[in-house]
């Protein structure tokens, strides 16, 4: 999938050329495949616990300090124990959890629960988790000062346990996280949510109610990366993990695949075969470019 000319990011440094192999996307694909190898991962499952452990281990190896944010909820499937993963970049000799952060980068870890079929959620949203790990590595190596301004969050329980997301089912992790910010602590100035960003023939649709400065940052980054044709704006709002954070006063953008036109969405066809290293590379580069702009601005 060709996407234009060489990309230049921050300080004139040429990190990569699209004429070369999509190294960021390929690395993220390897991480995604490792997650998929563990099988379906609905909330409360051993597979999800293993995924959590892998994600924490990979982030910690890149210099990020991670913790689990655990809680329980009564659901249509009984009481379920959930656990988000939060990470901040280490170093500096201070408690990273006392340090204010400017931005969030988020994705969800769980796959939707289906009792009558195997569903691994390759793009919804294992691919976003793989991309998060690669973005964490790049920030740590190339932009450590930016990394210190970020918190990475991997949500549990994004998917409704029965049917579609409602006010009572789904978004468990992001609802809890959004409600957990102490009132005396300044909230992040923005957040980026990644969801369904690795499918072939990449088609991203930002929610129509995305704050203007975040919409401009993402679409501008897509243009700079020669990937504008893969990014657009949906006709309406979208309910996803960004929604509780938006209501909590954190401006959010959801970089999400256009699931209205993806025939494999929430079917067993959402598997490794629909993923593309090129698409992951595009999504990662656009996200890094948008972060570069958002973290430099006062």
pLDDT digits (tens, 9 = 90+) for 227-247: 999 999 999 999 999 999 999
- Indicate whether 4 belongs to any domain: no
Across residues 246-252, what is the average pLDDT? Answer: 97
Q: Which of 38, 7, 219, 35 is nearest to 128 (CA)?
A: 35
Top pLDDT among 4 and 120 is at: 120
- Indicate whether 292 belongs to any domain: yes
Q: Specify the number of domains making up the chain.
A: 1
Q: How far apart are CA 263 and CA 98, in angstroms?
A: 44
- Indicate whether 13 belongs to any domain: no
Across residues 201-219, what is the average pLDDT? Answer: 98
pLDDT at 166 over 70: yes
- Indicate whether 204 belongs to any domain: yes
Amino acid 183: pLDDT:
80
Q: Summarize pLDDT for 69-97 with one digit per residue, the tens.
A: 999 999 989 999 999 999 999 976 679 99
Amino acid 94: pLDDT:
72
- Indicate whether 55 belongs to any domain: yes
- Indicate whether 226 belongs to any domain: yes
User: For the chain, what percent of residues have pLDDT higher than 70?
Assistant: 92
Amino acid 185: pLDDT:
82
Please report, for the domain that includes residue 240, its CATH number: 3.40.630.10
Average pLDDT, the chain: 91
- Indicate whether 17 belongs to any domain: no
Q: Summarize pLDDT for 94-119 with one digit per residue, the tens.
A: 799 988 999 999 999 999 999 999 99
pLDDT at 12 over 50: no
* Nearest 10 degrees: Cα torsion 70, 74, 79, 83: -20
Top pLDDT among 272 and 181 is at: 272
Across residues 33-44, what is the average pLDDT? Answer: 98
- Indicate whether 255 belongs to any domain: yes
Please give the model's pTM, rounded to 2 decimal places: 0.92
Domain span at residue 136? 24-296
């Amino acid at each position: 999938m060709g996407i234009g000319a060489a990309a230049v990011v921050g300080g004139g440094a040429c990190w990569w050329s699209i004429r070369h192999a999509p190294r960021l996307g390929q690395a993220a694909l390897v991480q995604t495949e490792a997650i998929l190898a563990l099988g379906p991962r609905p909330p409360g499952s051993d597979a999800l616990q293993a995924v959590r452990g892998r994600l924490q281990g990979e982030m910690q190896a890149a210099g990020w300090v991670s913790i689990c944010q655990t809680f329980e909820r009564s659901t249509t499937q009984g009481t379920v124990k959930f656990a988000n993963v939060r990470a901040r970049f280490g170093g500096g000799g201070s408690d990273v959890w006392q340090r204010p952060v400017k931005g969030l980068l988020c994705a969800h870890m769980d796959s939707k629960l289906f009792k009558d079929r195997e569903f691994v959620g390759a793009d919804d949203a294992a691919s976003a988790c793989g991309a998060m790990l690669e973005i964490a590595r790049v920030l740590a190596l190339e932009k450590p000062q930016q990394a210190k301004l970020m918190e990475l969050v991997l949500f549990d329980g994004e998917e409704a346990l029965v049917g579609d997301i409602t006010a009572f089912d789904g978004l468990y992790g992001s609802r809890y996280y959004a409600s957990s910010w102490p009132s005396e602590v300044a909230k992040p100035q923005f957040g980026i949510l990644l969801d369904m960003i690795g499918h072939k023939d990449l088609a991203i649709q930002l929610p129509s109610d995305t704050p203007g400065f975040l919409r401009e940052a993402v679409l501008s980054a897509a243009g700079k990366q020669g990937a504008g044709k893969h990014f657009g704006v949906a006709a309406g709002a979208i309910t996803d993990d960004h929604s509780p954070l938006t209501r909590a006063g954190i401006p959010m953008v959801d970089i999400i695949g256009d699931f209205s036109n993806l025939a494999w969405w929430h079917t067993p066809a959402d598997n490794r075969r629909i993923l593309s290293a090129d698409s992951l590379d595009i999504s990662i580069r656009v996200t890094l470019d948008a972060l570069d702009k958002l973290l430099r601005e006062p």
